[in-house]
Structure formats: C-alpha cells, structure tokens
Amino acid sequence: MLRRCYNPTYPSYRFYGARGVTVCAIWRASFDAFIAVPPVGIGPRPSLAHRLSRREDLGDYGPDNCEWKIFNYKGGRDVRDSHGSVSEYVRGCRCAACRNARLQYDRARPKRKKAPQLSLRGLS
C-alpha cells in the first residue's frame, strides 16, 4: 500500500500515487495502528483470500474508506485499461478479472511476442 502511493519506481504507482491517492498519517506512521481495531485501524486480515479494498476508488487509504474484501467480489470496478485489455491493477485469478471486466476469458490472455522464426531455405 505504501509503495503504491509513495514510490514512483513501483509498477502500480501510476494507478495510485500518480493519481493522488495517499495513506492516512496514522496508518503511514505505524503498522500497529493499521491492524488495530476500528475506528483507528481496519483490523487484522480475516484470511488469505481477503484483500484490502477502498470503497471509493479516488479516495485515500484510511479507516473510513477501506475494508477487507474477498478478491473475486470487488465488483463494479472498471478493470479495462485504455486499450481494452485487463489492467495491471487486477491481480490474481484471470478468470475473476475477466468476469469483473465482462471480457471473454480467451481474449484476455497475456499477449506474448513470438520469437522470429528463422528459415533455412536459401542458405545452402
């Protein structure tokens, strides 16, 4: 969370820090405050299936805007980037990302550049 918001060399910074998303001062100063019981903190992570989610995408990370959610049920977020492909913002199961973005699974496969094929014809 801190790297996303404050480290310009972090890959996800452009989705968070570059858009002005910050972390509240209490959470930034102390991890213990982050996992404290509400209203100061958000509480410990309920399970490994849960991810930190902001209720408002443009809002900051803070106790009034964050909650633990199971990743597949983030719902309603536009996860397509400007080229229509699944964004780096979505991590985890590609199937869930496609479902959230209303994309066909086979169209959301990562595109890999094929290595050029060398032809041996005409070299004899």
pLDDT of residue 110: 59
* pLDDT on residue 80: 43
Output the CA torsion 41→43→45→50 (10° steps): -70
Q: How far is CA 103 from CA 28, 72, 74, 112, in A?
A: 36, 15, 16, 19
Write down the pLDDT at residue 87: 46
* Domain ranges (residues) in the chain: 1-69, 74-109
pLDDT in tens, the chain (124 residues): 999 999 999 999 999 999 999 999 999 999 999 988 888 888 898 888 888 889 888 899 999 999 988 865 445 444 444 444 444 444 455 666 666 666 665 666 655 556 666 556 655 5
Measured from the Cβ of residue 92, the count of other Cβ atoms closer than 10 Å reads: 12
The residue among 92, 21, 12 whose CA lies nearest residue 50 is 92
Task: Give strand pairing partners of 50.
Answer: 70
Look at residue 6 in the predicted model and tell me its pLDDT.
95
**Where is 70: in which H helix or E strand?**
strand 66-70
Confidence (pLDDT) at 90: 45
Return the pLDDT at 108: 61
pLDDT at position 39: 83
